[in-house]
Amino acid sequence: MTSRSFDDRLERIQWTPGAVPTQEVIDSVLGGRGLEKARSVGATLLGAVLGILIGFGLKGMSLVGAPWGPDTGLIGLIGGSLSVFGLIVSVAMALFVALRSRQHPWLMQFASMNLLMIVVLLLS
Protein backbone atom coordinates (compact mmCIF):
# COMPACT_ATOMS: atom_id res chain seq x y z
CA MET A 1 0.00 0.00 0.00
CA THR A 2 2.83 2.39 0.79
CA SER A 3 4.48 1.96 -2.57
CA ARG A 4 1.18 2.53 -4.34
CA SER A 5 0.48 5.81 -2.51
CA PHE A 6 4.04 6.95 -3.25
CA ASP A 7 3.52 6.19 -6.94
CA ASP A 8 0.23 8.10 -6.81
CA ARG A 9 2.02 11.12 -5.35
CA LEU A 10 4.61 11.02 -8.12
CA GLU A 11 1.86 10.90 -10.72
CA ARG A 12 0.07 13.87 -9.13
CA ILE A 13 3.15 16.08 -9.24
CA GLN A 14 3.94 14.81 -12.75
CA TRP A 15 7.49 13.86 -11.88
CA THR A 16 9.60 12.04 -14.40
CA PRO A 17 12.91 10.34 -13.58
CA GLY A 18 15.90 12.52 -14.42
CA ALA A 19 13.86 15.72 -14.54
CA VAL A 20 15.63 18.93 -13.55
CA PRO A 21 14.00 22.11 -12.23
CA THR A 22 13.24 24.81 -14.72
CA GLN A 23 15.08 28.14 -14.65
CA GLU A 24 11.92 29.87 -13.40
CA VAL A 25 11.76 27.59 -10.36
CA ILE A 26 15.45 28.15 -9.61
CA ASP A 27 15.07 31.93 -9.89
CA SER A 28 12.01 31.97 -7.65
CA VAL A 29 13.80 29.96 -4.95
CA LEU A 30 16.97 32.04 -5.08
CA GLY A 31 15.05 35.30 -5.33
CA GLY A 32 13.00 34.53 -2.24
CA ARG A 33 16.03 34.13 0.01
CA GLY A 34 16.73 37.83 0.49
CA LEU A 35 20.47 37.79 0.04
CA GLU A 36 20.66 41.44 1.07
CA LYS A 37 19.46 40.41 4.53
CA ALA A 38 22.08 37.71 4.97
CA ARG A 39 23.80 37.21 8.31
CA SER A 40 26.94 39.16 8.88
CA VAL A 41 29.83 37.94 11.00
CA GLY A 42 31.19 41.49 11.12
CA ALA A 43 28.10 42.82 12.93
CA THR A 44 28.28 40.02 15.47
CA LEU A 45 31.98 40.53 16.07
CA LEU A 46 31.64 44.31 16.38
CA GLY A 47 28.78 43.88 18.84
CA ALA A 48 30.86 41.46 20.92
CA VAL A 49 33.90 43.75 21.02
CA LEU A 50 31.90 46.85 21.95
CA GLY A 51 29.93 44.88 24.53
CA ILE A 52 33.16 43.66 26.11
CA LEU A 53 34.53 47.21 26.25
CA ILE A 54 31.33 48.60 27.80
CA GLY A 55 31.05 45.69 30.26
CA PHE A 56 34.70 46.03 31.24
CA GLY A 57 34.18 49.75 31.83
CA LEU A 58 31.09 49.16 33.96
CA LYS A 59 32.80 46.44 35.96
CA GLY A 60 35.84 48.66 36.54
CA MET A 61 33.69 51.45 37.97
CA SER A 62 33.10 49.44 41.12
CA LEU A 63 36.57 47.93 41.56
CA VAL A 64 38.90 49.75 43.93
CA GLY A 65 42.27 50.14 42.25
CA ALA A 66 40.93 50.28 38.70
CA PRO A 67 42.12 53.31 36.68
CA TRP A 68 38.53 54.59 36.45
CA GLY A 69 37.25 53.12 39.71
CA PRO A 70 36.13 54.90 42.88
CA ASP A 71 38.20 57.89 44.07
CA THR A 72 40.09 58.35 40.78
CA GLY A 73 38.96 61.90 40.08
CA LEU A 74 38.41 63.22 36.58
CA ILE A 75 39.62 60.05 34.83
CA GLY A 76 37.12 58.00 36.82
CA LEU A 77 34.34 60.43 36.01
CA ILE A 78 35.07 60.33 32.28
CA GLY A 79 35.52 56.54 32.12
CA GLY A 80 32.46 55.84 34.24
CA SER A 81 30.32 58.30 32.29
CA LEU A 82 31.33 56.73 28.97
CA SER A 83 30.55 53.25 30.30
CA VAL A 84 27.12 54.23 31.61
CA PHE A 85 26.37 56.12 28.38
CA GLY A 86 27.35 52.98 26.40
CA LEU A 87 25.01 50.86 28.52
CA ILE A 88 22.11 53.28 28.00
CA VAL A 89 22.69 53.40 24.24
CA SER A 90 22.98 49.59 24.08
CA VAL A 91 19.69 49.04 25.90
CA ALA A 92 17.91 51.70 23.83
CA MET A 93 19.25 50.18 20.61
CA ALA A 94 18.17 46.70 21.67
CA LEU A 95 14.64 47.92 22.34
CA PHE A 96 14.52 49.73 18.99
CA VAL A 97 15.88 46.71 17.11
CA ALA A 98 13.43 44.36 18.82
CA LEU A 99 10.69 46.26 17.02
CA ARG A 100 12.55 46.57 13.70
CA SER A 101 14.42 43.26 13.43
CA ARG A 102 12.87 42.33 10.09
CA GLN A 103 14.13 45.49 8.39
CA HIS A 104 17.59 45.41 10.00
CA PRO A 105 18.70 41.84 10.82
CA TRP A 106 22.38 42.81 10.98
CA LEU A 107 21.55 45.42 13.62
CA MET A 108 19.71 42.76 15.61
CA GLN A 109 22.84 40.61 15.59
CA PHE A 110 24.94 43.55 16.72
CA ALA A 111 22.58 44.61 19.52
CA SER A 112 21.96 41.13 20.88
CA MET A 113 25.66 40.23 20.99
CA ASN A 114 26.44 43.63 22.53
CA LEU A 115 23.97 43.15 25.39
CA LEU A 116 25.03 39.54 25.87
CA MET A 117 28.66 40.53 26.37
CA ILE A 118 27.73 43.33 28.77
CA VAL A 119 25.61 40.99 30.89
CA VAL A 120 28.26 38.24 30.88
CA LEU A 121 30.94 40.64 32.08
CA LEU A 122 28.74 42.18 34.73
CA LEU A 123 27.78 38.76 36.09
CA SER A 124 31.34 37.43 36.18
Whether residue 61 is found in the same domain as residue 101: yes
Whether residue 49 is found in the same domain as residue 110: yes
Question: What's the structural domain count of the chain?
Answer: 2
Task: Name the residue range of residue 10's domain.
Answer: 2-31
Whether residue 72 is found in the same domain as residue 110: yes
| Beta-strand runs (E) in the chain | none
* CA–CA dist 56, 45 (Å, integer): 16
Comparing CA positions, the residue from 67, 99, 98 lying closest to residue 83 is 67
> For 59-117, how does the pLDDT look when each residue is reduced to its tens digit (9 = 90+)?
988 888 888 888 888 888 898 899 999 999 999 999 999 888 888 888 888 999 999 99
Residue 115 CB neighbours (<10 A): 19
CB-based contacts of 20: which residues, under 8 Å, 6+ apart?
none
> For 20-73, how does the pLDDT look when each residue is reduced to its tens digit (9 = 90+)?
777 776 777 777 555 455 567 888 999 999 999 999 999 988 888 888 888 888
Whether residue 13 is found in the same domain as residue 58: no
Comparing CA positions, the residue from 63, 106, 68 lying closest to residue 86 is 68
Whether residue 24 is found in the same domain as residue 79: no
